[in-house]
Structure 1
Amino acid sequence: MGKWGRWGLGFVVLASIGIAIASITKLIYDQNRIYTIRLATGGPTGEYYAFGQAIAQVTETNEPKIRVEVMESAGSNQNMDDINTHTADFALVQNDTPVLNNVRAVAQLYPEMFHLIAANDANIRTLTDLKGKRIALMPEGSGSYNLFWPLTEHYGLTKYDFQFNSMSPTDAYDALQAGNVDAVFRIIGLGNSSISKLLANNRFQLVPIDQIGALQLTQPYLKSTVIPKGSYDGGSPIPSKDLPVVAVSSLLIANVNVNPDVVKAITRILYEHRNELVSINPRTANIQSPEASQNLGFPLHEGAHAYYTQDNPSFLVTYAEPIGLLLSISILLCSSLWQGRQWLISNQKDRADRYNLEILDLIEKIEQAQDFDELQNLRQQLLEILRKVVVDLDIDRISPESFQSFTFPWEVANTAIRHQEIILSGRSKPVPQPNSSNLV
């Protein structure tokens, strides 16, 4: 075996060892890695934040390698932006929020209902009665704030038809109780405790919101629903009858680059640990079915899709890393056996090396050739070497790789012959004689 052949074998063995070590290291790292994910929710007193806390607690119990950091936020629009820029990994948003490029769906959670709470003495019985009134809205950028405007526009109102102020939910409720506003508008899950406390005061009532069919012509993500009789107080009851309202769905979304295994684990928490979630936050009882989560109008995250479409992962997916490790070890073993065989026959000189040495000697003779006959003889020798090499290649006495290494010096020798022919041709040309007319 030649020097370069031994170097090549050594490189293959070292590369195989490197692959095996890298596979083992990655396997150990992945088995022990702790993933910290950032979940953007909403204000600290809102339903999104409480929902996020429930997910964090149940995830910590059932997926010890995943830590959920619950983040406060201004609302759906900010959450969508944070997911798009990967400032957050997961987020809760309303399904009317415009979807951005790097955002993928994970699950449809629960319906959020439009709540218009008005003071009894304000005489607000429908949305058209908001004209000339004072309205408390949620903070700008929130889903509640953004959806209020297309809703009132449908009823023929503009922002100049009433007074409005955006404020936190707590400030809005305080303003209504103090008589500083006539109504509060908020989109929130059914049964919110703050709403219950507000409605316990007989001074306030829920206002119905209908015309859902017409609303869906411009806002197709809206759904028709009802606030069931007695939802906020069964004794009174509040409301006194089923109240027609409009709803949107809350969604769990993720950045497209979040690890699919992490997304799959979080999706599994939502559906397979529902009882644990409900014990922390009853709102989680309304999480939609997996079938509903697969038809959200924008792409599912790869990890969520894997959960929804595969009851059990394939053998290759489950054991990809052990298979990679086994393959690397197999390559290492085969390479070692192959090297051992090559070392056993290393005492036989590589024929291609001998041919290369013959050609190098021939090149030296070509450069020293003094006439065309000598050069022709060297050409015949060069062709004879080529013939022998081709025969040896055909009967496997040299390898295709050795043949490739032979072709380069052979081409050099062939070029040297042509070059020497040019030199000898120049020498054989007669020297021009000076014209006598040019002699002085």
Structure 2
Amino acid sequence: MFKKKKTFFIFTVVILFSLLLTGVVSAQPTTFLSIATGGTSGTYYPIGGAIAKVLNENIENLNASAQSTGASVTNTRLIYNQEVELAILQNDIANYAIKGERQFEGNQVNNMQGIAALYPEVIQIIVRDDANIKSIADLKGKSVAVGAPGSGAEANASQILSLFGLDYEDIDEDYLSFGEAASRLKDRQIDAAFLTAGIPTAAVMDVAATQSISLLKFSDQEIKALNEAYPYLTGVTVPAGTYNGLETDVQTVALQAILVVDSDLSEELVYNITQAIFENRETLIAAHARAKDITLEGAKTGMTVDLHPGAQKYYQELK
């Protein structure tokens, strides 16, 4: 009798061990998250990669990865189609999406909620010093990179040109990513480029290292006009020394980069995501200096979509 019990015990142990090896018995299934960012030469990509690293190191059974994409407009559509779970995008684009306005007319995005505002995105209009461009009006007839198709930068380029009485018929427009625009500027194949990104932007630093460039600046009156037409655009200063050869401060406009999420994600998971981001800021800052702007105090500043309940719960607990 004892021998039979012993044999049964050994048999049971062997079966359990086999199940563990084959993964039939496991602790928790792994959750996979994709984070839509932007081009590799912008700010979204390193910030998104750092967020993925933080999530992987601090949330059990989670596998997060950053994807290089066409940025804001593309990212919004990826969220809408549930092809990614998180995305970084401009707050103006997010607002248009949830209201079904402008490029989202007839395609309202109704499954997108916010986690946190991240940092200011500066609209930088980079011009070669030898292209004789001193103002927006001088872009007429010039070869201009207006941003990648489906990017927030391209939307901003169109808005700004329009406000100054220009459109794409007045320029030789080229739809280029930040990296592509930098390469064309260095090779003198284009005269100027619109970029919307956190500063310093890697692509601009790359050009400034080998070319004499300038940033177009706006007057107080022009910034007021831009803000009245597009309330998300506010005045900001690019400090002297931000790029090689930039000897004076440059006044331009900026909006806000925000982190959004598919509203179908659970409250618990989004709570954990929000907590991991704010309790591991140093990891983000090590990846890109712009992450210094990611703070609890500014987490809701410029947020143009409703917060996900998981993020809201985290902020409420800190009050």
Give the % identical residues. Answer: 29
Say which structure is richer in helix.
Answer: 1
Measured after TM superposition, the shift of residue 302 of structure 1 is 0.7
CA distance in 2, matches of 1:87, 1:173: 29
Segments of structure 1 that go 5 or more residues without pairing to the other structure are 1-28, 313-440
Question: What is the TM-score normalised by the length of structure 1?
Answer: 0.60
Query: Is the contact between residue 266 and residue 310 of structure 2 (CA under 8 Å) also seen in structure 1?
Result: yes
Measured after TM superposition, the shift of residue 30 of structure 1 is 11
Q: CA RMSD in A?
A: 2.1
Measured after TM superposition, the shift of residue 205 of structure 1 is 1.5
Q: Deviations over 1:131-162 (max 9, x none)?
A: 12111222111110111011011111122221
Aligned residue number for residue 300 of structure 2:
293
Say which structure is richer in strand.
Answer: 2
Counterpart of 1:125 (choices 119, 134, 140) is 134
Q: Which amino acid aligns with 2:67?
A: M
Question: What is the TM-score normalised by the length of structure 2?
Answer: 0.82
Secondary structure of the corresponding residue to residue 32 of structure 2? strand
Runs of 4+ displaced beyond 6 Å: none
Aligned residue number for residue 80 of structure 1:
76
Matches within 5 A, 1:328-407: none
Aligned residue number for residue 160 of structure 2:
151
Query: Is the contact between residue 95 and residue 251 of structure 1 (CA under 8 Å) also seen in structure 2?
Result: yes
Measured after TM superposition, the shift of residue 269 of structure 1 is 2.0
Q: Deviations over 1:394-439 (max 9, x none)?
A: xxxxxxxxxxxxxxxxxxxxxxxxxxxxxxxxxxxxxxxxxxxxxx
Secondary structure of the corresponding residue to residue 263 of structure 1? helix
CA distance in 2, matches of 1:173, 1:297: 31
Q: Does 1:244 align with 2:240?
A: no
Aligned residue number for residue 210 of structure 2:
201
CA distance in 2, matches of 1:108, 1:306: 16
Alpha carbons of structure 1 residues 146 and 30: separation in structure 2 relative to 1, 3 Å: farther
Q: Which amino acid aligns with 1:155?
A: F
Counterpart of 1:181 (choices 155, 177, 190) is 190
Counterpart of 1:114 (choices 110, 116, 123) is 123
Query: Is the contact between residue 36 and residue 75 of structure 2 (CA under 8 Å) also seen in structure 1?
Result: yes
Counterpart of 1:32 (choices 28, 32, 39) is 28
Q: Which amino acid aligns with 1:218?
A: A
CA distance in 1, matches of 2:262, 2:297: 20
Measured after TM superposition, the shift of residue 166 of structure 1 is 0.8
Aligned residue number for residue 66 of structure 1:
62
CA distance in 2, matches of 1:296, 1:225: 18
Q: Does 1:56 align with 2:65?
A: no
CA distance in 2, matches of 1:73, 1:297: 22
Counterpart of 2:311 (choices 304, 314, 321) is 304
CA distance in 2, matches of 1:129, 1:33: 58
Q: Deviations over 1:184-220 (max 9, x none)?
A: 1111110123211211335322211342211111211
Secondary structure of the corresponding residue to residue 185 of structure 1? strand
CA distance in 1, matches of 2:129, 2:211: 8
Matches within 5 A, 1:200-239: 200-210=209-219, 211-233=222-244, 238-239=245-246
Q: Which has the higher contact order (CA 8 A, sep 6+)?
A: 2
Aligned residue number for residue 42 of structure 1:
38
Aligned residue number for residue 161 of structure 1:
170
Aligned residue number for residue 138 of structure 1:
147
Query: Is the contact between residue 278 and residue 295 of structure 2 (CA under 8 Å) also seen in structure 1?
Result: no
Larger radius of gyration: 1
Task: Say which is worse superposed, 138-147 or 33-42, in terms of deviation.
Answer: 33-42
Measured after TM superposition, the shift of residue 288 of structure 1 is 4.2
Measured after TM superposition, the shift of residue 291 of structure 1 is 4.8
Alpha carbons of structure 1 residues 68 and 290: separation in structure 2 relative to 1, 3 Å: farther
Alpha carbons of structure 1 residues 254 and 30: separation in structure 2 relative to 1, 3 Å: farther
Alpha carbons of structure 1 residues 49 and 83: separation in structure 2 relative to 1, 3 Å: same
CA distance in 1, matches of 2:246, 2:200: 12
CA distance in 1, matches of 2:269, 2:188: 48
Aligned residue number for residue 90 of structure 1:
86
Q: Does 1:254 align with 2:261?
A: yes
